[in-house]
Amino acid sequence: MSDGNGRTLLGPLNRVEGDLEIQVAVAAGRVSEAWVNSPLFRGFELILQGKAPMDALVYTPRICGICSVAQSVAAAGALAEYLQVTPTDNGRIATNLTLACENLADHLTHFYLFFMPDFARPGYQSEPWFEAIRERFRAQTGAAVNQVLPARAAFMRLTGILAGKWPHSLSLQPGGTSRALSTSDIVRLRMQIGSFRQFLEQVLFDGPLEQVAALASREQLQAWAAAHPHGDFARFLSVAEALKLETLGRTRHQFLSYGAYGQSRGHWFCRGVVGWQGNQLQPRTLDLDAITEDMSSAWLRGESAHPSVGHTQPDIEMPGYSWCKAPRLAQQVTEVGALARQVVAGHPLLLDLVREQGANVMNRVVARLLEFALVVPAMEDWCQQLIPTAAFCAPQSQRPAQGRGVGLVEAARGSLGHWLSVKDGRIHNYQIIAPTTWNFSPRDRAGQAGPLESALARTPVSGELHECLPIQHIIRSYDPCMVCTVH
């Protein structure tokens, strides 16, 4: 399907949580330009206007079935600021456990169900590694799926204990959580986390989490993979090396993280921005007031605005090519996600990989897998920090007639923000910027392409574009969530 402009339309693209369409232009055997279209508009920001503020806790998780808890946590954060409520310590820890469970389950789903099956596609059948990878990762029938689905479902039992159910829980409240945990509940939490650790150490890593977490350089990563060849991590790394995945989807945008897993002070993975100064990574000051959403390439009316005063007015007659706005931080294109989170947090392995090779397909996947090794031990610690005699939810019965609030959270896929304003006791405005809104944004007024759009440029292509697997790897390396993107 090629149109008169010499652009080829790619879609429907699956394993991206929602619907996605991409146009690419090719010159001299490489992608010259790409345009990313998020084709689904539902209008949550308009639905929320006029509702009772606390009802945001019912509507916003339903933006997304895969980032549901992250949406709840962002909404609860915005409401806490509006209500001037501080969550209890127990509530904060239980929220972190619930969010960590969702984030890691999402990483697992991404790696095994969304990303790896592309290496089992017929396009690679002449590769020497093909048969083994296909036997392991083939969509639906690969051997891994029989281990992964039970491990994921068992791990998600944490949400049955902590949050009643997943997705779409109402347990995540401005004052903490609505489910006070007993000592026996905490025993069950620890058992499930322990089983998940066992799965990761046996199946994914073929070694202890602490050793993976301690990897500090590319050389150490390579040595570790050679010494632990029976894990799916090593299988991925060997395919990555064979296909030079570090050369695909390479970009050098600034990295943003709102900070993940709130502690009594600061975050477990810190908040910040890291940009480029020549070939060096350089921390920058995060100015939240410098976030804007630009609508030049979207079927939306209105001028670029900060989300606290932003608006959403769909108009299919507007010149544009996506329903997605283009968020920018200080006018700059910004990448979010596990890689950004770990670069901002200063993990030595990712810093080493990114300094050398920028952001790319391999590094984005390594960052996600590394987070298993970092977060599961943290979850074990958090269980110990719960105090079953203390409160889980702070009183939150005040309902001020006016107010504002911002909820910032790190979802699996990166930085998610909710901006709430209340007038006369009702939601006056509610704006959401989701991780994939950043990563899959279209061009802005200055003509700057969004992160995926520039990651696709220069990709070598041959033969039928629809069967060009490097393009598919680049797209899925971001673990896009298209239902969140436009919302």
Partner 1 sequence: MTRKTLPWLQSGGCGGCSLSLLNAETPHLLARLQQANIELLWHPSVSEVNGPELIRLLNAIVDGDTALDILCLEASAMLGPNGSGRFHMLSGTDEPMFQWIQKLASRAKQVVAVGSCAAFGGITAAGSNLVEAIGLQYDRSQRGGLLGEQWQGADRLPVVNIAGCPTHPDWVTETLTLLAADALASDDLDEYQRPRFYTDHLVHHGCPRNEYYEYKASAETAGDLGCMMEHMGCLGTQARADCNIRPWNGEGSCLKGGYACVNCTAPGFEEPRHSFVETPKLAGIPVGLPTDMPKAWFVALASLAKAATPERLRRNAVAERLIYPPGRGVKKRE
According to CB under 8 A, which residues from 313 to 372 bind partner 1? Answer: 314, 316, 323
Q: Which stretch binds partner 1 (CB under 8 A): 108-116, 200-208, 216-224, 288-296?
A: 108-116
Of 180, 189, 209, 422, the residue at the interface with partner 1 (CB under 8 A) is 180
For 406, residues 6+ apart whose C-beta sits below 8 A from its C-beta are: 77, 78, 81, 288, 308, 417, 418, 419, 420
**DSSP one-letter string for 191-204:** HHHHHHHHHIIIII
Query: Minimum distance from CB of 43 to partner 1 (Å)?
Result: 5
- Smallest separation (angstroms) from partner 1 to the CB of 151: 10
Q: Does the protein bind partner 1 through residue 387 (CB under 8 A)? A: no
441 touches partner 1 (CB under 8 A): no
Confirm or reject binding of residue 453 to partner 1 (CB under 8 A): no
Q: Determine the Cα–Cα distance for residues 294 and 304; give it in Å rounded to an integer.
A: 4
- Nearest CB to partner 1, comparing residues 20 and 362: 20
DSSP 137-157: H-TTTSHHHHHHHHHHHHHTH
Q: Which residue has the tokens 């709430």?
A: 420
H helices present in 49-112, as ranges: 56-59, 68-83, 89-109
Nearest to 199 by CA among 154, 261, 249, 244: 154
Residue choice 73, 82, 111, 175 for contact with partner 1 (CB under 8 A): 175
Q: In this chain, which stretch among 17-25, 273-281, 303-311, 376-384 interacts with partner 1, using CB under 8 A?
A: 17-25
Q: Does 157 bind partner 1 (CB under 8 A)?
A: yes
By CB under 8 A, name the one of 24, 26, 31, 54 that touches partner 1. Answer: 54
Nearest-approach distance from CB 280 to partner 1, in angstroms: 39
Burial of 50 (0-12, 13-18, 19+ CB in 10 A): exposed
Nearest CA to 259 out of 243, 248, 273, 245 is that of 273
CA distance 398 to 381: 33
**Residues between 118 and 137 that touch partner 1 (CB under 8 A):** 120-121
Site for partner 1 contains 89 (CB under 8 A): no
Rounded Cα distance, 307 and 292, in Å: 7
Task: Establish if 199 lies at the interface with partner 1 (CB under 8 A).
Answer: no
Site for partner 1 in 239-298 (CB under 8 A): none
Residue with tokens 């990114």: 354
Q: Which is nearer to partner 1, 156 or 242 (CB)?
A: 156
**Site residues (CB under 8 A) for partner 1, limited to 397-436:** 397
Size of the site for partner 1 (CB under 8 A): 89
Nearer residue to partner 1 within complex by CB, 322 or 421: 322
Cα separations in angstroms, 461 against 5, 237, 284, 367, 480: 18, 23, 36, 26, 22
